[in-house]
Each structure stands twice: as C-alpha cells, then as structure tokens.
C-alpha cells in the first residue's frame, strides 16, 4: 500500500514537472532572475553595467528558444506595466524609448537565438558560440539604438554602448557558460 502511494506520488510529481504550469514557473523564475541581475549595477552613463545579459543568455540556454524568449518578454512587460524591474529599480515604457531601450528590446531575441542554437547541438563549442553571439546581438542592437541618442554617431555609440563593455561582457559570458555547463552535467 505504501509503495503504491509513493509510486502514485512520483507519477504525479513527474507529470507536474512535464506540465505547462511547471514550464510557466520557470519562465517567471527567469524573468525574476533577470530583474535581480538588473539590480547588480554600476551606474555609468549612458548605459550602466549590469548582470542582466548573463541571465538573458541563461534563459535561452536552460528554457529553450520559445520559453527563454517568453521569460524576457515577461520581464519587459513587467517593467512597462510599472513594476520597478529595470536597472536601478526603474520602470515604465519610457525606458524602451530611452538610451537603453535597444538593449532591453533585444533580450527576447537573444534568448531565442541562444535557445535555438542549443536545441540543435549542445557541445562545448556550440554553447560558447551561442553565448558569444547572443551577447554580441545584445551589444550591437543596444549600440545601434543608442546612436539615435548620440545624434546618429554610431562610432561613439559603439564605443560607449558596446566596446566599453567588452571585458565585463566577456566575464559574464564565461560565467554563464560555466553555470550552464555545470548544471547541464547534473
């Protein structure tokens, strides 16, 4: 009798883990983790250093293309709806139309890209390629959008919105890679 109850509980737990409710839980969790990472910030102008992009990459890697993108869309919607989830506990639709808007708007695309690549193949080279390319997608999208606020000067925007982040983003990418590889083994 006890063994039968345990087996039924295991089946119930297994079916819950495979359910849409559990998937929704992970989407919300990665959205929340992105919010937390946004608060780890070094406030410089025009764009602060944050840990957000590391979580964007990990959301795509762990959740896959669609769910990773959904987690980032949820993050953006939460901020636009008035929850203080963006860097420095900021919020509002104005953030999407300000200097950092290009970075924020690229998050779902970067998560989707990373997830899509890793759904095909998960060897070390592919993971590194997906993470580096996802990070580059965020930086170039953000810098391109930032150029609008710098009188169309893409060179200045590229320097102050991407190149200046190179070492910091490489560290975040290596950290994301290490986290993903560590959890993937388990």
How many C-beta atoms surround the C-beta of residue 75 within 10 A? 31
For β-strands 49-50 and 41-42, DSSP reports them as antiparallel
Who has greater pLDDT, 168 or 56?
A: 56
Average of pLDDT values for 88-97? 94
**Domain spanning 22-185, CATH class:** mainly alpha
The model's pLDDT over 40-85, given as tens digits with 9 standing for 90+, comes to 988 877 888 899 999 999 999 999 999 999 999 999 999 999 999 9
Average of pLDDT values for 165-173? 91
**First-to-last CA distance in the chain?**
32
Who has greater pLDDT, 8 or 151?
A: 151
Instruction: Give the residue among 147, 154, 134, 143 at the shortest CA–CA distance from 65.
Output: 134
Biggest CA-to-CA distance, the chain: 74
Q: What is the Cα gyration radius of the chain?
A: 18
How many C-beta atoms surround the C-beta of residue 13 within 10 A? 11
The answer on pLDDT for 7 being more than 60 is no
Instruction: Give the residue among 179, 178, 169, 174 at the shortest CA–CA distance from 30.
Output: 179
Beta carbons within 8 Å of 110's beta carbon, 6+ residues apart:
53, 56, 57, 60, 72, 134, 135, 137, 138
145 in Cβ contact with 109 (< 8 Å)? no
CA atoms within 13 A on the CB side of 19: 10
The model's pLDDT over 113-166, given as tens digits with 9 standing for 90+, comes to 999 999 999 999 999 999 999 999 999 999 999 999 999 899 999 998 889 888
Model pTM score: 0.87
143 in Cβ contact with 157 (< 8 Å)? yes
- pLDDT band at residue 8 using 50, 70 and 90 as cut-offs: low
Cis omega (within 30 of 0) on the bond before 46?
A: yes
């Amino acid at each position: 009798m006890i063994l039968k109850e345990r087996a039924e509980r295991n089946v119930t737990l297994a079916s819950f883990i495979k359910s849409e409710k559990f998937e929704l839980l992970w989407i919300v969790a990665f959205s929340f983790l992105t919010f937390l990472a946004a608060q780890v910030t070094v406030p410089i102008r025009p764009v602060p250093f944050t840990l957000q992009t590391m979580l964007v990459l990990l959301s795509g890697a762990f959740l896959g293309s669609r769910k990773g993108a959904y987690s980032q869309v949820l993050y953006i919607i939460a901020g636009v709806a008035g929850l203080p989830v963006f860097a420095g506990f900021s919020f509002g639709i104005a953030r999407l139309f300000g200097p950092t808007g290009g970075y924020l708007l690229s998050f779902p695309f970067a998560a989707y890209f990373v997830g899509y690549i890793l759904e095909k193949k998960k060897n070390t080279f592919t993971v590194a390629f997906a993470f580096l390319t996802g990070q580059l997608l965020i930086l170039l999208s953000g810098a391109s959008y930032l150029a609008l606020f710098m009188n169309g000067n893409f060179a200045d925007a590229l320097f102050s919105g991407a190149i200046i982040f190179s070492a910091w983003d490489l560290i975040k990418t290596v950290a994301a890679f290490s986290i993903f590889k560590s959890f993937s083994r388990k």
